[in-house]
Amino acid sequence: MRFRISGHAYNEMREREIPSEMVENLMTSPQQIVPEYGGKTAYQSQFLFENGKIYLLRAIVDELADPCVVVTVYRTSKIGKYWRQP
């Protein structure tokens, strides 16, 4: 998949200590893709971070852009809030 990361998303990755490799992995092989507000889409996967905890990594993506644009990226420990059960 072709995508680009917005300046805002890069800043959030740096501030939140999210490695670019994780974001690349998320975008190429997400565990889930779910619709979000405003016509955006959330790509999300669970990752083990350096502190030994599992977090849900979420990238909010504008799929209508060409290539797709990662608008923002964040991790959360509230996996149950966002995870969709089949």
Give residue limits of the domains in the chain.
Answer: 3-80
In order along its 86 residues, the chain shows pLDDT tens digits of: 799 999 999 999 999 999 999 999 999 999 999 999 999 999 999 999 989 999 999 999 999 999 999 999 999 999 999 999 87
Return the ∠ at Cα 43 (arms to 40 and 46), rounded to 5°: 150
Query: What residue has token string 């979000």?
Result: 36
The gap from C-alpha 79 to its chain's centroid, in whole angstroms, comes to 13
pTM for this predicted structure: 0.93
Place of tokens 């990361």: 5
Query: What phi and psi, each to the nearest 5 degrees, are found at residue 17?
Result: 55, 50
Q: Is the link from the previous residue into 30 a cis peptide, with omega within 30 of 0? A: no
83 backbone dihedrals φ, ψ, rounded to 5°: -70, 130
Return the pLDDT at 85: 82
Q: What was the pLDDT predicted at 1? A: 77
Q: What is the largest CA-CA distance in the chain?
A: 36
Partners of residue 33 on adjacent β-strands: 43
Q: Which pLDDT value is given to residue 65?
A: 94
